[in-house]
Structure 1
Amino acid sequence: MTDDGDRPKREATRIVSPNIGLINTQTIQIGPRWAVIGIFLILFFGALYLSRDFILPVVFALLFMLVLSPIVRVAKRRLGFWEPVTAAVLVFGTLLVILSSFYAFSGPISEIAQNAPRYIEAANEEISVLRERFAVVRDAKREVHQAAGKDTGAEPPEDVVISGPSLLGNMAAVIPRIGASIAFALIFLFFLLSSGSLFYRKTVEALPSLSDKKRALSIASDIETELSRYLFAITLINLCLGLAIGSAMALVGLPMPAVFGALAFVLNFIPYLGAIAGIGLVGLVGLTEFGSDAYALVPPLVYLLITSIEGQFITPILVGRRLRMNAAAVFLSVAFWGWIWGVVGMFLAVPLMVCVKIVAGYIESLHPLANFLAAEEAQEETPPSP
């Protein structure tokens, strides 16, 4: 049975009430659109989480390609070096730095792993002291309730004991995976760098219109420039911070100050949470070495003071206004990528955020996102879309 009888009614409705028809059409179009976007984001981030063992080396290689590509181009243009030669030198140099770092700090890290039971025992002792103090308050509260004729019936809490996992065993299980990921990232980085501008050229050729091609070239150029500036500035800052932390830990009498300086250098690539982890580690070792004496608070307080000076004064000056980010957005980015990719995701959070901010600045519909990611004084510098 056909619905020819209903067709004139629908057409009449369109003629008599065109505005209502327009509103209904927009509602029908907008609803599924946002639903599709939401489903896509869920599937996209789910895929990133499930394929992290493959995606992480690829992301690292792409980020290092953006930073090192200008060196390859300059070496070819001014010195006449063939791209694969420059790429091999850069990749081999990166591998040497990684292996040298592992070799230099393998001994101190093993010593820290061997002393982990001591640190855990010291933490358990302090937890026991706190429990005893809270137990006094709890008993007094129970006596007051009993005197008032009330029985709380609450059972005493169970003992809280920090148990130390086999750190060396965990490292032995994780190191092969880390080594395989590093090897894959370096090999992929070599192919990206040795191809010269092929990666950019193929990406631009895939875009349909001339304006899109120009925009893609501008985005790639800005990402190279800004990301190189950021990584160079933050590496220099972290190097100075590591030297300052190591020297300060040596002055306060903490053992293995060079290790804590190196850890400060690495952890400071993670905004906020890296400093908190460093303070906690230094405080735990200080508690073990100096006991419950008030002097045990000196190492974490010194660490806090140095990182506060770096974060509030030095980094804003050296990084510059264009690269300064919304602090809330940075913290949210670190937490999100840490949830998706673990500790490695925390290291990648800010570089990825820089890339997203630059891309959003060139797309008109994403300008609100670019303004949200930028610091307040840097919002006016967002580049207009071509």
Structure 2
Amino acid sequence: MSDSLPARALPNAVVGLVGTTTVLALLYFGRDVLIPITLAFIFSFLIAPFVRALRHIGFGPTLSVCAGVLVVTLTLGSIGAVLVSQVTRMGASLPLYQDTIAAKIEVLNDLTRGSLDSLGGPAGQLIEHFTQEGPNDGAQPVRLADGSVKTPVLVEVHEPALKPFQLLGKIVASVWPPLETAGIVFVVLIFVLLEHESLRDRFIRLAGGGDLRATTIAVNEAGERLSRFFISQFLVNIATGLAIWLGLSLLGVGQALLWGTMTAVLRFIPYVGVWIAGLCATLLAAAIDPGWSMALMTLGLFLAVEVIVAQTIEPKLYGHTTGLSPLSVVVAAIFWSWIWGPVGLVLSTPLTLCLVVAGRYIRALKVLEIMFGELPALTMPQNFYQRALSGDAQEIVAGAKRFMQHKSLATYCDAVLLPALHLAHFDLKDSAITPGEEEKVSSAIIAVIESLSGDSKWWKKKKASSVLTGVGIGRQLRDRRILDSGEWQGSFDVPVGSVVLAMSLGTQYDELATEILVRILREQKIDARSVSFADFGLHDAPPEATPALVSIVCLVSVDPLAERELMERALLKMKDSLPHCKRYAVLLPSPFENADLAPCVFSAASKVVHSYDSALQSCQRTMQKP
């Protein structure tokens, strides 16, 4: 037996930990190589549409790539030139504002009870520089121990003047690292764009060459989505920078172009980038204006522009289509800034977006989509049931109302409520939940159904809800509704053929599904009333309750395969008792069991429907006929 166990014999947790540690180590220690390559790939997504457009109009592959890279080079060079020139001008003008800065620092120091004086480090040195009375032109006399007075001789130490080659070497040493990184980025960018098709084919082979069509569609969709996002973000940031530039120019803030450019660049850093530029611009406005109005207006301008862009423009343009949750963006910014420093902070959102898109199509990276993607980790029925187990009916109602802003109550019940009830039924049947959890689920379901159907009133006295195995939620909901509508659930002084009779086959789940159908129909102004098949005909109705009032009978079953014979008997009885009525078999099986409903063909049924929405539409069409 070998001393070292093969990797497949190790626990999955250990293998995952070793793999994660290895990846983190490669990212950290290989950052000098990975950062330029990553920047090149990000730029390739940004300018790939421009290169493709040039190819469509007749440019060759090499010429198109060179033109695209040239555009990027000129853009970055222009931005750098603007920043350097504006910073130089601002540095030259700062001495003009020294008196204003010193006065405001004194005011702030008084307001903070001397806290500014106690600051150390660069901030304390800067405050001391602006608040000192003036330069010390000479040394002060010093009294010695013997009583004599001497004036120290000031000595200034100057380094010898650098020779031309030494000066050149220092300049090269300072600019070489960024030039080296930029050179690597542009070389890699050119080859990535030139070999775009080859790289795509290699990735398809790596990701899943077995299903060529599906993998090709996935790769193309991912590339287009990333390109759209980066271009949209680039354009939005430029527009934001222009708005800040124009606004600050109107306010009279110095170096408005600098702050607009900084806003456009720093806005690539999520959440904090724009406020770095805003804080710097506000400080300069405070230095220029003896009062505080310019500083407050500058800060207000940044706040107004950012709120408009972040809350109005971005959500419509690319906001939630990025597929990233807000928390994941913050976590990604912290992680990538720790791994790669400031560059990682700028690249955090694009990198995380690339990983999430890859996780959507590569099974090994699926965990990244679940952890960082915007798609909910639980389906809506699972979320409903989880919230019901927690007794959090208010959150369920809030989510349901958001859903129903664009969908109907019937659609919500089909897509969310009914599947959630089946999940509860499975756990109850397997005894997987405690009586206390059953009580919470029952209470939450009652509260949600009453709230969505408009039957929840604050002045009603809430009875204690029985658990799922007790009286039954459906019967409780029906009894509560009868408190308002009366024993017969409404008046019999109604037009002929205006009543829909919803009938459960007898189980508690049939009763609940039937009560939901009644509330859906009544929400659409249809006079729906419910009764169980076992109770039909046992109560003496008043003389005015003639059979002619009923036009449709809906028989509801949530387990149609098990209740097929009972459904057939009920349909035949309705055919004999109410021959003039339409008879709808409403079959609502669990969506999780893929039940084959082919055997559920009923000769006595006028129509068989398989959802609340279909039942509602069928009833509406029938009621509209003369």
Q: TM-score range by the shorter chain?
A: 0.7 to 0.9
Report whether the alignment pairs 1:43 with 2:22. yes
Secondary structure in 1 matching 2:254:
coil
Distance, in Å, in 1 between the alignment partners of 2:171 and 2:330 is 28
Distance, in Å, in 2 between the alignment partners of 1:51 and 1:366 is 21
Distance, in Å, in 2 between the alignment partners of 1:111 and 1:173 is 25
Report whether the alignment pairs 1:97 with 2:75. yes
2:353 alignment counterpart: 354
Q: Matches of residues 188-207 of structure 1 in structure 2 within 5 Å? A: 188-206=188-206
- 250-259 vs 323-332, which moves further: 323-332
Quote the offset at 1:111 in angstroms.
2.4
2:85 alignment counterpart: 107
1:304 alignment counterpart: 303
Q: Matches of residues 120-139 of structure 1 in structure 2 within 5 Å? A: 129-135=107-113
User: Which structure ranks higher in relative contact order (CA pairs < 8 Å, sequence separation ≥ 6)?
Assistant: 1
- Maintained 8 Å contact 2:36/2:184: yes
Residue segments in structure 2 that go unaligned for 5+ positions in a row: 1-6, 127-169, 380-626
Quote the offset at 1:31 in angstroms.
6.8
With over 3 angstroms needed to count, the CA separation of the structure-2 counterparts of 1:303 and 1:50, relative to structure 1, is same
- Maintained 8 Å contact 1:84/1:195: no
Letter in 2 for 1:37: G
Distance, in Å, in 1 between the alignment partners of 2:210 and 2:307 is 47
1:43-86 deviation line (CA, Å, top 9, x unaligned): 3223322332221110011222344445545654x445432222
- Maintained 8 Å contact 1:127/1:160: no
Secondary structure in 2 matching 1:349:
helix
Report whether the alignment pairs 1:271 with 2:270. yes
1:248 alignment counterpart: 247
Distance, in Å, in 2 between the alignment partners of 1:73 and 1:224 is 13
- 102-111 vs 310-319, which moves further: 102-111
Quote the offset at 1:110 in angstroms.
1.9
Quote the offset at 1:266 in angstroms.
0.9
2:184 alignment counterpart: 184
Letter in 2 for 1:86: S
- Maintained 8 Å contact 1:371/1:379: no
- Maintained 8 Å contact 2:97/2:287: yes
- Maintained 8 Å contact 1:238/1:266: yes
Residue number among 39, 49, 56 corresponding to 1:60 in the alignment:
39
Letter in 1 for 2:68: L
Secondary structure in 1 matching 2:322:
coil
> Which structure is higher in strand share?
2
2:420 alignment counterpart: none
What RMSD in Å do the two structures reach over aligned CA positions?
Answer: 3.6
1:268-294 deviation line (CA, Å, top 9, x unaligned): 111211122122111211221124635
Secondary structure in 1 matching 2:321:
coil
Distance, in Å, in 2 between the alignment partners of 1:367 and 1:325 is 14
- Maintained 8 Å contact 1:326/1:372: no
Q: Structure 2 length as normaliser, TM-score? A: 0.47
Q: Matches of residues 1-386 of structure 1 in structure 2 within 5 Å? A: 32-73=11-52, 75-76=54-55, 78-114=56-92, 129-135=107-113, 158-160=118-120, 162=123, 163=125, 175-206=175-206, 210-211=210-211, 216-291=215-290, 293-319=292-318, 321-364=320-363, 367=366, 369-375=368-374
With over 3 angstroms needed to count, the CA separation of the structure-2 counterparts of 1:235 and 1:115, relative to structure 1, is same
- 54-63 vs 283-292, which moves further: 283-292
Letter in 2 for 1:177: P
With over 3 angstroms needed to count, the CA separation of the structure-2 counterparts of 1:89 and 1:29, relative to structure 1, is closer
- 107-116 vs 332-341, which moves further: 107-116
Structure of greater Rg: 2
- Maintained 8 Å contact 2:207/2:362: no
> Which structure is higher in helix share?
1
Distance, in Å, in 1 between the alignment partners of 2:8 and 2:198 is 40
Secondary structure in 2 matching 1:210:
coil
Give the number of equivalent residue pairs.
328
Letter in 2 for 1:110: T
Distance, in Å, in 1 between the alignment partners of 2:89 and 2:51 is 40
Quote the offset at 1:249 in angstroms.
0.8
1:146 alignment counterpart: none
With over 3 angstroms needed to count, the CA separation of the structure-2 counterparts of 1:234 and 1:119, relative to structure 1, is farther
Seq. identity, %: 22
